[in-house]
Structure formats: C-alpha cells, structure tokens
Homo-oligomer: A and B are copies of this chain.
Amino acid sequence: MISMKTDLKTDRELSAQIADAIRNAIIDGSLIVDERLPSEAELSEQFHVSRPTVREALKRLAAQNLIRTRRGATGGAFVNRLRFEEAYGQQITTSTLLLSMNDVDFETACEARFTLERACVALSAKRHTGDHMATMRAEIHRQSQPGLSDEAFCASDVAFHRALVDGAQNPVLSYQLAGAIEAIEPLMNMITFSARSREEIVALHTEIANAIEAGNGNAANKTLERLAEYTVELANTVFQKRKQK
C-alpha cells in the first residue's frame, strides 16, 4: 500500500495526485530502492481510477527518473536508484532552459559559474588524481589545435572545467556544478574566438592546470578570476559589436 490517503481531490488531475502520492512514498522511504510497485491493475483498484490514469501518473514519475518499468511475468514498475551521472542530464537541461527562457545575461551566468568554480579549486588542488590532470592537459592540447571550430573549442572548454571540478572528488559538488558549467555553453557558442583570444585562454588554462598540479589552490583561484574577467570582457566586445550592426 502506497499511502492510505486515497481521498483524491477533484480540483486537480488525478494522475498528478497519484504521482505525488507515490513520489512522497519514495521520498519518505515507504518505498525503497528497487522495490516493485503494485501492478497498474492493482494501483487502479487502490486509487479507484482507470488504468490509463494510473499509467499517466507512472509516466510522470518515469520522466523524473524515479521509476523504471519492465514488461513480462516478473515485470512492473520499480523504484529507481537515482544516480549522480543520470541526474546530470536533467540538471543541465533545466539550467539551460532557465537561462534562455529568463533572458539571463551572460555576465550573470558567468559570475555564477566562476564563483562556484573558484569555490572548488582549493579542494581540487588537494585531491585531484592523475586522471583529472590528464583530462585537463588533453583538453588544453585540443584547444590549441589550429583548425578547431568555435563550437568544438567551447565543448573542450566545458570538458576542461568539468575535470577541474571533478578533481575535488566530491560528487555533490560535481553534480551541482554540472548545471552551472554546461548551461553556459550555448551562450559561449555565440562568441567568435579569435586566434588571439584562444591563445590567451589556453595560457590561462595552462596556468590553472599547473597550479592545481602543484597543489596551489590559491594560485589557481586567482588565475580563474582572471579567466572570468577575460571571458566577460570578450563577451562584451562581441555583444557590443552585434548591437552596433
């Protein structure tokens, strides 16, 4: 039994209320990970609704990655273990839409991103592994390739910064930062990166990687601040040029 409060109101969609009831059961621990929910037929009896209505409720939960379903004799709906890696995607999608739909300006988004990132570098300097360094170096190398498109340059930039954050070895930090770092990519993609500016960014990235490798979080922090300033400056000139046209 999910919850005995089966007294559904009439002022909201039934499928939404049922989804809420099940979601709450998951949150408060009445339903634990990998536990099987009652079959759709049983749920429709319990809640006194039809099977399509139950199914709509289950699809709502599936959209939030809270359950998975399997057909067949031993099939059904099961409570999902929400994993950090899977939650990234959702987090990034939402963050991206928030920026674009609320007309957040580049400076605000950039400030948030670099502020959060600077918070992580001290930990990253202490805890990073060879893997993180290797990723950072590889991305720096990619960024200095001549024929690289602006989009690929941005993507590499994102990869570099994610490795930087992942170096802190705190999954909660990595998760929270994913949204801030990735969501800004579409905005960065509007920038045209000249050879000169790429050089500058690569130099700053290298400086950051060196500081991290040396365990000097303070230096990395300061360079990151310069990178933040440079990025905003770059964006401003681009956007001002756009305006003039």
Q: Is the CB of B116 within 8 A of A27?
A: no
A181 to B83, CA, bound (A): 19
> Closest chain B residue to A56 by CB distance?
B59
The minimal Cβ–Cβ distance linking A154 to chain B, given in whole angstroms, is 16
A12 to B67, CA, bound (A): 16
| Stretch of A87-95, A197-205, A206-214 at the chain-chain interface | A87-95
Q: A101-B82, A123-B115 are in contact. Are A96 and B61 (CB under 8 A)?
A: no
- A133 at interface, CB cutoff 8 A: no
A14 to B93, CA, bound (A): 21
> Closest chain B residue to A19 by CB distance?
B63
> How extensive is the interface on chain A, given as a class?
35 or more
Q: Is the CB of B108 within 8 A of A27?
A: no
The minimal Cβ–Cβ distance linking A223 to chain B, given in whole angstroms, is 16
> Closest chain B residue to A120 by CB distance?
B115
| Stretch of A2-10, A170-178, A234-242 at the chain-chain interface | A170-178
Within 8 A of B (CB), among A73-123: 81-84, 87, 90-91, 93-102, 104, 108-109, 111-113, 115-116, 118-120, 123
- A: which residues have CB within 8 A of B? 15-16, 19, 23, 26-27, 29, 33, 52, 55-57, 59-64, 66, 81-84, 87, 90-91, 93-102, 104, 108-109, 111-113, 115-116, 118-120, 123, 168, 170-173, 175-177, 179-180
